[in-house]
Amino acid sequence: MELRTLGNTDIRVSPVALGCWPIAGMTSPGANDEDSLATIRACFELGINHLDTAFMYGRAGESERLIARALGPRRHEMVIATKGGLHWGPDGNMAHDGSPETLRRECEESLGRLQTDRVDLLYLHAPDANVPIAESAGALKRLMDEGKTRAVGVSNFSVAQLEAFAAECPLAAFQPPYNMLRRQIEADTLPWCREHGVAVLVYWPLLKGLLAGKLGRDHVFAETDSRRKYTMFHGEHWQKNLDLIDKLRVIAEAAGHTVAELVINWTINQPGVTSTLCGAKRPDQIRETAAGTGWQLSKDQMTQIDRALAERGTPDAEAPV
Sequence-distant (≥ 6) Cβ neighbours of residue 308 within 8 angstroms = 244, 247, 248, 251
User: How far, in whole angstroms, is CA 111 from its chain's centroid?
Assistant: 20
Dihedral, 239, 241, 244, 245 alpha carbons, nearest 10: -100
The DSSP bridge partners found for residue 18 are 51, 278
- As a whole number of Å, the end-to-end CA separation of the chain is 40
Sequence-distant (≥ 6) Cβ neighbours of residue 182 within 8 angstroms = 204, 207, 317, 318
| Cα–Cα separations (whole angstroms), residue 237 to 118, 206, 244, 304, 311 | 44, 16, 11, 21, 13
Half-sphere exposure of 78 (CA within 13 A, CB side): 30
**H or E stretch covering 82:** strand 79-84
The Cα 302–Cα 308 span in angstroms is 10
3-state secondary structure of 209: coil
Catalytic entry in 57, 123, 203, 230 = 57
Active site residue 57: yes
Contact present, 109 and 61 (Cβ < 8 Å)? yes
Contact present, 274 and 244 (Cβ < 8 Å)? no
Active site members? 57
